[in-house]
Structure 1
């Protein structure tokens, strides 16, 4: 799983923490929107011989582990073959469409997160 680390937005994140429940609501909205943005980029990169794979990319609801909130973007179980495409096999070259989509979306996602946090904080 790839992680997106934001630099330079520590002040915004600190302000979110101070807001308590309202901050958690903003955090949830921001992370889901960011996940959707990553999903869009992955769908654009996905092989489309039948279009099935593009329809099977999902975004989870907000999850928290050890206080860290996140969403995951993943192919559904119906698209189990996505791993074969992403990483390749002994008989097939890798086509890392998920990695490309993630890399292509990073700057847009960072901008979206900053914009949405500021909007949520009324700045």
Structure 2
């Protein structure tokens, strides 16, 4: 799982904490929007044979682990073969479409997070 961290977010996140419930909703919205940017980029990189994998790239609900919020973007559990495509097998070369999609969208996702938080804070 790739990890996305935005530099200079400390002050914005502190302001969100002060807002409590409203701040949490703003943060959730920002994460979902950034997740959708990454999802679209991954969908554009998916190798297509039947189209089923492309249709099943999803953005999870916002999850919190060890006090850190996140969304997960990738294929659903039924698309187990995505790992074979991403990492390759002894009989097949890797085609890291998830990694490419993430790298292609990373900067835009970071910008969306900052924009959504600023918008939610009225800045």
Q: Does the alignment pair 1:42 with 2:42? A: yes
- In the alignment, the residues of structure 2 paired with residue 61 and residue 11 of structure 1 have an alpha-carbon distance, to the nearest angstrom, of 25
Kindly report structure 1 stretches of 4+ aligned residues shifted beyond 4 Å: none
Aligned length: 123
Q: For residues 58-89 of structure 1, what are the alpha-carbon distances to aligned partners after superposition, in whole Å with 9 as ceiling and x for unaligned?
A: 11101011111101012112211100000000
Secondary structure of 2:33's counterpart equals helix
Q: Does the alignment pair 1:83 with 2:79? A: no
TM-score between the two structures when normalised by the length of structure 2: 0.97
Q: For residues 19-70 of structure 1, what are the alpha-carbon distances to aligned partners after superposition, in whole Å with 9 as ceiling and x for unaligned?
A: 1111001011111111111110000000012211110111110101111110
Secondary structure of 2:64's counterpart equals strand
Cα RMSD for the two superposed structures: 0.8
* Structure 2: stretches of 5+ with no match in the other structure: none
Aligned to 1:110: 110
- In the alignment, the residues of structure 2 paired with residue 60 and residue 72 of structure 1 have an alpha-carbon distance, to the nearest angstrom, of 5
TM-score between the two structures when normalised by the length of structure 1: 0.97
The Cα shift of 1:12 comes to: 1.0
Q: For residues 68-121 of structure 1, what are the alpha-carbon distances to aligned partners after superposition, in whole Å with 9 as ceiling and x for unaligned?
A: 110101211221110000000001000000000000000000110110000000
